[in-house]
Structure 1
Amino acid sequence: MKKVLLSCVFLVSCTSVLFAQKAVTKSPAAAGVQSEVSRPKLVVGLVIDQMRWDYFYRYYSRYGSGGFKRLLNGGFKCENTFINYIPSYTAIGHSSIYTGSVPALHGIAGNNWIEQYSGAKMYCTQDDNANSIGTTSDAGKMSPKNLLATTITDELRLATNFKSKTVSIALKDRSSILPGGHTGEAYWLDDKTGNFITSSYYAQKLPEWVEKFNSQKRVEALVANGWNTLYDIKTYTQSSADDVAWEGRLAGKDNSAFPHDLKAAYAAKKTNFRNSPFGTTITFEMAEAALKAYNLGNNGVTDFLTVSCSSPDNVGHFYGPNSIEIEDVYLRLDKDLEAFFNSLDAKVGKNNWLFFISADHGAAHAVGFNEAHNIPTGLWNTKALEKELNTYLEAKYKLPELVTDIDNFQVTFNMNRLDSAQVDFTELKKYTIQLLKRKPEITFAVDVDQLGNAPIPGEIKEKIANGYNIKRSGSINIVLNPAWFEAYASTGTTHGTWNPYDTHIPLVFYGWNVKPGKTTRQVHMTDIAPTLAAMLHIQMPNACIGKVITEVADK
């Protein structure tokens, strides 16, 4: 009997071991585990410079089926996406989208800023040690060295041991360089030559495909026939009249009405090309050239293409958001977008590419437009205020030029002069704020060091803190009344404030592993990068403070 029992025990033991061995050696696929990380072939990030969220719907009935409507009907819409810092400017927007962070951490505190301890003026992508590649101008003396954090594009490269390719395209240097991060390659337009260029940070010569693209002289071709409306001008019913006092006028023209002689305007001033919808057209053409040259999305690993359309910002600044010009820009952009999507489908394959669209900031209505409709508004003259403050402070402290700059809605002081004279800095800031608070256009003026005690709404307080970089931001932050903005020109518009018209931005995810839907809960610009990181199964950028938009990533 014992022998029988022992035989049974031995048989059961052997069977268990054999079963366990089979389970261990089972293939990952058979066990229900993926053998490889699932990722799209290509990620495309599109940032429309100065796109207000409401442009999705303001012109919706006029869009075709293959551009914006393809996104809105087939993508996942985040309808309440906000910028969570101030000032809301281009360089910061592009940096924050791709780092998932804010100026306090990623270091891009404005398009320009004052280095607080040296007093040096700094442009966001300025690099005096870099050389221009593709031009004899200084337009290529740029790099991402001022960006202190990694981007989602950097993290993808790191995750694939640099096998992934990252290419960035824009008219503006900052809109190309900052999304591409520290490890990609970037190209932007040189106004002097009308060519796309780069920097010695990236390469010692232009790639052959860029030289070939430049040889087509597309800028000259695009301005040759001028700019008239895409459709009958009478159908542009979502806009103001064609010729109003608050719109800019091109060189040699005494009104703002269509048609616009772009050839003459470009001959008079090269930057006038940017004040047209054709800056967007050439940007997408250049993006398609990169797509083809590098076979993006077909290299056995996920690639990343970043595209920024800069011309909507230029046109908005020049004509304002209620202009027929802006409406025409978006109707043409819709067609360019459709053509670009068709190229992605053809070259990468439908459902093989992951896409998102957003904006770096919005825009206010033009002051003249507001005045015409009885909306409280005004222009803020920073140069006059700077002069007044210096006179005010000199009378008390007997020191000249204590304020070196008022920019980014911040007051910067001459710290070397104050230190040498041993001035009580806290007391000086209090004294400065006393004058600022008396200004009717200023809602709040706050010493950022005392922000926690300031009687300011919490949401605005958070945006001030997020936008304050201790080495690159002024010590006093100014918040203007709604619909007031900096008076750099009496026509057109600008941006930079905390208000919804500047900070409520579009955000739609589309394509690979994205199911149609929407959320109206508030999310932030800084949530884009961590959401992409979750979808791609890679690390978040190293200064990321954003949160994953689970409605998108958990599909």
Structure 2
Amino acid sequence: MNRFASLTRLLAITALAGAAALSAHAASAPGKDQSPKLVVVMVIDGLPNEQVLRYRDQFAKDGGLRRLLEQGAAFSNAHQAHGVTVTAVGHSAVLSGAYPYRHGIIGNNWLDADGKTVYCTEDQRYHYIDEETGAHDGTSPHKLRVDTLGDQLRYATGDRAKVVTVSGKDRGAILLAGKTGTAYMYMDKTGDFATSTFYMQSYPEWVQRFRAARPQDRFYGKSWNRLLPDAAYAGDAPYPEPTTTNPNRFPFIYHSESGAPDAKYYERLKVGPAVDQLTLEFARAAVEGENLGRNPAGVPDLLGISLSGHDYVNHAYGPESVMSHDHLQQLDRMIGSFFGYLDKRIGLDNVLVVLTADHGFANSPEFSQARHIDALRINPGTLVDALNADLEQSYGVAKLVKRAMLPEVYLDYEAIDKRGLSRSEVENRAARFLLAQPGIAQVFTRTQFENGGVQTTRLGVLMQRAWNRQLSGDLMVVPTAYSIYSSGTSGATHGNPYDYDTNVPVMIMGGRWIKPGAYGNYTEVVDIAPTLAHLLRVRPPAAAEGRVLTEALR
């Protein structure tokens, strides 16, 4: 069965298939004494599976990615199977097993009913502990409308299981932690890891010790140098022209203009391997401070780790760059070291590891153009202004587009109704105009989504899953393949329903539960939560629509 057939079949019968899979394998599920002591879920932000496959021969013999590929089940045809492939949406899928139309995280940001910007994890009822908190900083999972695997594990064990997550981004930690876990995130202005008053009122002693040691300051004046010989990078894109903010040359020196660690320095630590090294060090401190994997109640614990640096590097330089290539090699060695630590601390035969990504990445348009691909940078502001001008000419009403965060476009239905216009007619007029613009492949309207008018093509299915009736825009505008929404002139991004953005690694390692091998069957990131629920003998999250990956289970 081809990938699209699998996708549409899954959409139609997912509940029945999931129930059948759970029932068929209940008898063979591991007993309590066979359960993992620790489940580690790792998300590499912005890692397309293409990079794992392309650079795999250069991974270290004791590297983490090599170990996962050789000792785990590696799914090469795995996808973040929704149409808006950004960090918050992808992280929400990993442990909820749900799509955006159900879990409610439709983007990193969106607009509320008053047209105000909403950040996916903002919650002004809470603040960071001992850190400055902005109005839109991420402090709680309130906007996540569903539960997660960690919540089910906590429920099944009477809250005795511990669920701890850490990330270079607040949304990376909070959306993995679910409703009842504890999230820690990197602070851009201080380089510390912090949590919010949603989770606790003061830090435990182990966190206080970690913060007091200030490990982030040791990178000052140090360089990020290439790990491999020059010949290893021969196939990468040449350096783009340097700018003031992006020197685009190795070595990259971590510094600030002030001559000492400050907010600009801590911000710079994110674009490169330093933030990931700090994240893994904090994860080690959490394993020891919370005694993860050695739960006195004899129940499994869950550790979520989201490594953010790769996303920042890819945005700045593109996934085809020497910088991205080297960063992935650095990650391989870091993860390998972390696995070595877990082996000594807990024993890897007691640990179940999952590694995936929240989204892939498009190449920079200039790189695609050099390869004779019709890739464009589409200026969002220019496009929306042109659309508003066309609608005003057609209907005599100014600014019928209230605001846009492409691919979302929000129309002013109040003004449309006041003029006695047909909503669907205005939607269709807007769609026709947009489809005539360079770089636009498809436009979906609210009327289509609400009335079942979206065709069941792969593109249609992915965009339908990405659209939430209460939160999403009235138009969803999909660019042509390899084109991106960008007002700049350099760098790359993601967010579209094409394979380069959806195809991500899914690797599961745990010799007592997992059959190693390379699996080419169609798989989705939403399959992770049901699979882990099966192995942990807990109820799957309520909105999960994935399946148990029985082909990879012993």
447-456 or 129-138, which moves further after superposition? 447-456
- Summarize the Cα distance change of 1:134–1:376 in structure 2 as closer, same or farther, 3 Å threshold: same
Contact 2:377–2:484 (8 Å) recurs in 1: yes
Deviations along 1:228-269, one digit per CA (max 9) or x if unpaired, are 21233343224222x224xx6453x6x412122221377546
Question: Equivalent residues in 2 for 1:442-461 (5 A)?
Answer: 442-451=440-449, 458-461=457-460
Between 1:82-91 and 1:482-491, the stretch displaced more is: 482-491
Which residues in structure 2 correspond to 1:356-367 (within 5 Å)?
Answer: 356-367=354-365
| Residue type of the alignment partner of 1:85 | H
Q: Residues 482-536 of structure 1, C-alpha deviation per residue, up to 9 Å, x if partnerless?
A: 1101114321100011111101110110014112123211011111111111111
Instruction: After superposing the two structures, state which structure 1 stretch, 396-405 or 143-152, moved more.
Output: 396-405
Deviations 1:150-207 (A, max 9, x none): 0111111111111100000001000000000000100001111111111110011222
TM-score (norm: length of structure 1): 0.89
- 2: CA distance, partners of 1:35 / 1:193: 45
1:81 and 1:524 in contact (8 A); partners too: yes
Take 1:350 and 1:259, find their aligned partners in 2: how far apart are those partners?
35
Q: Could you tell me how far apart the structure 2 residues matched to 1:470 and 1:175 are?
A: 24
Aligned to 2:477: 478
Structure 2: unaligned runs, 5 residues or longer = 1-27
- CA deviations on 1:282-341 (whole Å, 9 max, x unpaired) are 111010010010110001210000000001000000011111111111111111111100
For 2:461, the aligned partner's letter is E
Q: Cα distance 1:35–1:54, how it changes in 2: closer, same or farther (>3 A)?
A: closer
Q: How does 1:485-524 map to 2 (within 5 A)?
A: 485-511=484-510, 512-524=512-524
**d(CA) in 2 for partners of 1:531 and 1:287?**
24
Q: What does residue range 133-532 of structure 1 map to in structure 2 within 5 Å? A: 133-138=129-134, 142-241=139-238, 243-245=239-241, 249=243, 251=245, 255-264=247-256, 268=264, 270-299=266-295, 300-451=298-449, 458-511=457-510, 512-532=512-532
Distance 1:534 1:333 in 2: 29
Structure 2 Cα separation of the partners of residues 170 and 402 of structure 1: 39
Deviation of residue 99 (structure 1)? Answer: 0.5
* Contact 2:121–2:137 (Cα < 8 Å) also in 1: no
Amino acid at match of 1:209: W
What's the counterpart of residue 547 of structure 1? 547
Task: Flag structure 1 segments of 5+ consecutive residues without an equivalent.
Answer: 1-31
Q: CA 1:501–1:397 in structure 2 vs 1: closer, same or farther (change >3 Å)? A: same
Query: Aligned to 2:325, what secondary structure does the other structure show?
Result: helix
Count of aligned pairs between the two proteins = 517
In structure 1, what is the equivalent of residue 120 of structure 2? 124
Cα drift, residue 403 of structure 1? 1.0
1:454 Cα shift?
Answer: 5.7
SS in 1 for 2:509: strand
Q: CA deviation at 1:434?
A: 1.9
Q: 1:203 corresponds to which letter in structure 2?
A: M
Which is higher, the Rg of structure 1 or of structure 2? 1
Residue pair 2:454, 2:460 contacting (<8 A) in 1 also? no
Output the CA distance in 2 between the equivalents of 1:43 and 1:357.
Answer: 11
Amino acid corresponding to residue 378 of structure 1 in structure 2 = L
- TM-score of the pair, normalised by structure 2: 0.89
Amino acid at match of 1:221: R
Q: State the Cα distance separating 1:397 from its structure 2 match.
A: 3.2
Decide whether the 8 Å contact of 1:110 with 1:408 is kept in 2.
Answer: no
Going from structure 1 to structure 2, the CA distance change for 1:385 and 1:295 (only over 3 Å counts) comes to same
Inter-partner Cα distance in structure 1 for 2:324 and 2:138: 32
Q: Which amino acid aligns with 2:537?
A: H
Question: In structure 1, how many angstroms separate the alpha carbons of the residues matched to 2:265 and 2:416?
Answer: 42
Give the Cα–Cα distance (whole angstroms) in 2 for the partners of residues 33 and 342 of structure 1.
Answer: 28
RMSD: 2.1
The structure-2 alpha-carbon separation of the partners of 1:141 and 1:125, relative to structure 1 and needing over 3 Å to count, comes to closer
- Whether the 8 Å contact between 1:130 and 1:140 is mirrored in structure 2 is no
Q: State the identity as a percent.
A: 32
2:83 to 86, 104, 118: 86
Indicate conservation of the 8 Å contact 2:236/2:322, yes or no. yes
Q: What one-letter code is carried by the residue in structure 2 that aligns with 1:196?
A: F
CA distance in 2, matches of 1:195, 1:250: 26
Identify which range, 278-287 or 201-210, moves more after superposition: 201-210
Give SS of 2:443's match.
strand
